């Protein structure tokens, strides 16, 4: 395995996605010595935690916005397929079925982010990346950084780390 500027605390490192490793390496390059929650919001949503020692301590994987909406449509007999990735305003409470699906899906992910953040030290930085990062960021209380290039920054940090060895 290629030497990394971070440590991997995952018990099955061979099953850990390279995109997740790169995103965590990018977070370490941006915030060395800080605790970071990296949220990659795409087809799936990954929640990955980097501790202050530069160790990836683990994370979680959940369905992304589109996948949640698709599941509601496919696995029920009457719920419509809602474009949850549209630019429509997401009300706190839906006032019709489509609005309820939109709010439930989008605000559900925002709630997951808030929950995971609450389980980490108060000074933990939350970094959002992935296609739905911009959609989710306004719904999350507190300081959240959007970095669409986080994986690229991580790949660059891995390259730089190996060049200096």
Q: What total number of domains does the chain contain?
A: 1
Q: Are 23 and 150 in contact (CB under 8 A)?
A: yes
Check which CATH number belongs to the domain holding 39 and give it: 3.30.420.40
Q: Name all contacts of 110-113 with Cβ < 8 Å and 24+ positions apart.
A: 110/136, 110/139, 110/140, 112/45, 112/47, 112/62, 113/37, 113/39, 113/47, 113/140
Summarised one tens digit per residue, pLDDT across range 144-154 is 999 999 999 99
Whether residue 1 is predicted with pLDDT greater than 80 in this model: the reply is: no
State the pLDDT confidence band at 165, using cuts at 50, 70 and 90.
Answer: confident
Summarised one tens digit per residue, pLDDT across range 47-106 is 999 999 999 999 999 999 999 999 999 999 999 999 987 777 789 999 999 999 999 999
State phi, psi for 65 to the nearest 5 degrees. Answer: -55, -55
Rounded to two decimals, what is the model's pTM? 0.94
Residues with a catalytic annotation lie at 19
**Coil/strand/helix, residue 130:** coil
């Amino acid at each position: 395995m290629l030497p990394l500027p971070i440590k991997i605390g995952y018990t099955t490192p061979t099953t850990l996605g390279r995109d997740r490793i790169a995103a965590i390496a990018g977070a370490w390059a941006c915030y060395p010595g800080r605790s970071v929650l990296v949220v990659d919001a795409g087809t799936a949503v990954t929640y990955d935690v980097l501790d202050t020692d530069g160790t990836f301590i683990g994370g979680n994987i959940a369905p992304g916005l589109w996948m949640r909406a698709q599941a509601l449509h496919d696995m029920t007999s009457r719920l419509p397929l809602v474009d949850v990735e549209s630019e429509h305003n997401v009300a706190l409470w839906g006032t019709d079925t489509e609005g309820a699906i939109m709010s439930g899906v989008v605000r559900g992910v925002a709630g997951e982010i808030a929950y995971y953040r609450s389980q980490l030290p108060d000074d933990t930085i939350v970094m959002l990346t992935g296609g739905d990062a911009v959609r989710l960021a306004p719904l999350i209380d507190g300081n959240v950084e959007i970095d669409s290039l986080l994986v690229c920054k991580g790949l660059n940090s891995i390259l730089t780390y190996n060049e200096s060895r």
